[in-house]
Structure 1
Amino acid sequence: MSTAAEDSEYSAPWWQRFVEGLNEFYHAPYRQTMARAARDEEDFFMLLMFAESLGIDNPASFYTLELQPLFLENFHEWHTRMGMDRCPFDHVGCC
């Protein structure tokens, strides 16, 4: 007897499963590279957002200031990935 998950898996036409398999075959080698590029882009964006607080002149600080509270929960992961053992801000208690 088959389960509902197995029935839904095989309910797709054979050509659709074939296309999904081809997509997986071609995209799998680049998944790690794309994830690393996305992480690097996010790191650069975090630097732009918190640059003014770190003492670096930032021409985009007016636009990024209101985004800081949204990204503050990811700040600890970011500053440890950037090599800062402790939080560089006195007013943020993430460590």
Structure 2
Amino acid sequence: MGLSSIKKILQLYDDILSVQHRTEIARELRDEDDLFLFLCLSETLGLPNPAFYYTLELYPYIIEKFHDWHLRMGMEKSPLDGIRCC
């Protein structure tokens, strides 16, 4: 048994264990992304953000995720005046 066949067996085992939980895992990842987005944009919502200086450089990458988020929440346009993504 070679290394590649062991990797295939482990991958199959992982797939078998996670097949029933894929929707739960996807939901948890989406919730974590939403929380991260909220923490990064909390300053624009009027909530103090102690890590604002460190998250400022992430804004260009967050704009795309923010656009997907507000569309998923049912808002046609950005709810924040400072962020124009549409």
TM bin (shorter chain):
0.7 to 0.9
Structure showing greater relative contact order (alpha-carbon pairs closer than 8 Å, 6 or more residues apart): 2
Quick check: which has more Rg, 1 or 2? Answer: 1
Aligned mate of 1:65, from 43, 47, 56: 56
CA RMSD of aligned residues (A): 2.2
Partner of 1:54: 45
Q: What TM-score, normalized to structure 1?
A: 0.68
Partner of 2:72: 81
Unaligned runs of 5+ in 2: none
Unaligned runs of 5+ in 1: 1-11
Structure 1 residue 86: Cα displacement: 2.6
Q: How many residues align?
A: 83
Structure 1 residue 85: Cα displacement: 4.1
Q: Percent identity?
A: 41
Structure 1 residue 80: Cα displacement: 3.0
Q: Structure 1 pair 93/24, CA: closer, same or farther in 2 (3 Å)? A: same
